[in-house]
Structure 1
Amino acid sequence: MSYKIDHKSPIPLHIQAEQLLRALIKEPEYQEGKMLPNEVDLAKVLAISRTTLRLAINKLVYEELLVRKKGVGTKVSTGKFSSKSKNWLSFSQEMTARGIPVKNFELHISWVYPDQYIANFFDIKTDKKILKMERLRGKVNDPFVYFISYFHPRIGLTGEEDFKRPLYEILEQDYHTIAELSKEEISAIAADKFTATKLEAEPGSPILLRKRFVYDQSERPLEYNLGYYKADSFTYVVESRRTD
C-alpha cells in the first residue's frame, strides 16, 4: 500500500495516520504476525512526528487491534479484525433505533462564560466564552428531555450551523471532529420550576439527570452535556454481559 499522508488536508495528521494503520494491519502479512515498521522509520516515511504517530498507534492498542511489547515491537493482535463495538448513541440514534420520530420543540444558541467546573473539564480559562446549546426534544406530542450542551472552542463551531442535523454528523462532516468516547453519570433528582415547565411536569416530580462527557479520538474533551429526562416518559436501560 502507499504510505502517504496529505499534509494539506484539513483532517488531523494523527487521524490520517490511524486510518492508514487500520488499512495496513488488514494486509495478509501483518495478519500472519509480521511486525509493523518501527515508529522511527514509519514516522520518517510519513513525514510526521513520533508523537503524532504514537497517538494513532495508542488508539489501536486501546482497541486491542495492536499489541505492543517493549524491546520487541508492535504487531496485530491475534484474532482482532475490527474495532470494539460502541455501545453509546446520540439521542437521535437512540430514538431511531427504537423507531420513535423525534421532534425538536425548542433550540437556543448562546455564547457564555463557563463556570469553573466546565472550564476545568475543557482545560480552558473561565474568561473564554464557549458555545452553549439548549434543546427541548421528545416524541411528537411529548417533550420529555431538555438538553444543555457546552462545546470546546477548539472545534470551531460558530452557532450558525443547522442544528436540525444530527450533532455528531455536523462535528464529523463539517469540522473533521469525531466523537469517539462517552462517559456518563446518571442520578435521580427532583424537577425545579424551570425544568418542570420545560418538560410539562410538576415541580418536585422525579427527573433523570444524565451527565455526558464526550471526547474525540485522542480523548480530548469535546462536549459537556446535561440531559434532564421526564421519568414517566423515559427508561434508561443498561445491558451487561459477563465474560470469563
Structure 2
Amino acid sequence: MSAERIRRVVAMPVALAAVLALLYLWVSGQELDSIELRTLNSEYLAARVAEHLRLTALALLLVVIIAIPLGVLLSRPAARWLSPVVLGLANLGQATPAIGLLVLLTILFGVGFTIAMIGLVAYAVLPVLRNTIVGIRQVDPALVEAARGMGMTRGQVLWRVELKLAIPVILAGLRTALIMAVGVATLATFVNAGGLGDIIVNGIKLNRTPVLITGSVLTACIAFLVDWVGGVAEDFLRPKGI
C-alpha cells in the first residue's frame, strides 16, 4: 500500500477522533443543568447513536436488495423501455422533501420504525438504482461480445464482466445513498423512531446549546465516517486495472 493511500485511510479517523475529543472537552467544561444532563450522558448518547446507525444500516441493506437487482433488470435490452418510468418514480421519491414524505406516511399509516424506514429507502434508492443502470450500460459492448465469443452464457457475462466492471460506479451510488441516509435519519425522531434527531430536537425545543451542538456534531461525524468507509471500500473493491 502506497504512502498516499495510507494517508487517505488514516487521516479521516484521526480527524474525527480529534473532533470528538474536542467536543467532549468542551461539553465537560460547561456547567450543565439537570435537563442537559438527562441527554448528555453516555447511556443516552450511546442509545441514540446505536439507533441512528441501525436506521442507516438497515435502510442501506434494503436499498441494495431493491435497487441493484432492479437496476440489473432495467439494464437488459428487453426491459430498457421501462427505465424512464422506474427512474421517474425514484426521482419522485427523492424530489419530495423528506419531512413532507414522512408526514404523508404518518397520516396514512401512523408512526414508528417501519415508517421511518420506508421514508429512508424511498429517499436513498435513486443513486444506487441509477448508478447500477449506468454502470452496466457503460461497459464496452466489444467486451461483452468477446466474452460471449469465449463461450460464456448470458448469466456468466453479467456476473463476470458487466457487474465486475460496473462495481466502481455502483459503489459510488451506494456511498451517496449512505450519506443521504445518515442525514435523513435525523428526521426519524418525528415519527418516534429515535436516532440522533432526538438530541437535536431536544436542543432546539429546550433551547440548550450544548445539547444541540452535541447532536449535530455526532451526526456530522457519522456522515464523514460512512463516507470514509465508502471511499475505502471503493479502493479495495475496485477491479484491478481500473
TM over 0.5: no
Q: TM-score range by the shorter chain?
A: under 0.3
Structure showing the higher strand proportion among its residues: 1
Structure showing the higher helix proportion among its residues: 2
Q: TM-score, normalised by structure 1?
A: 0.23
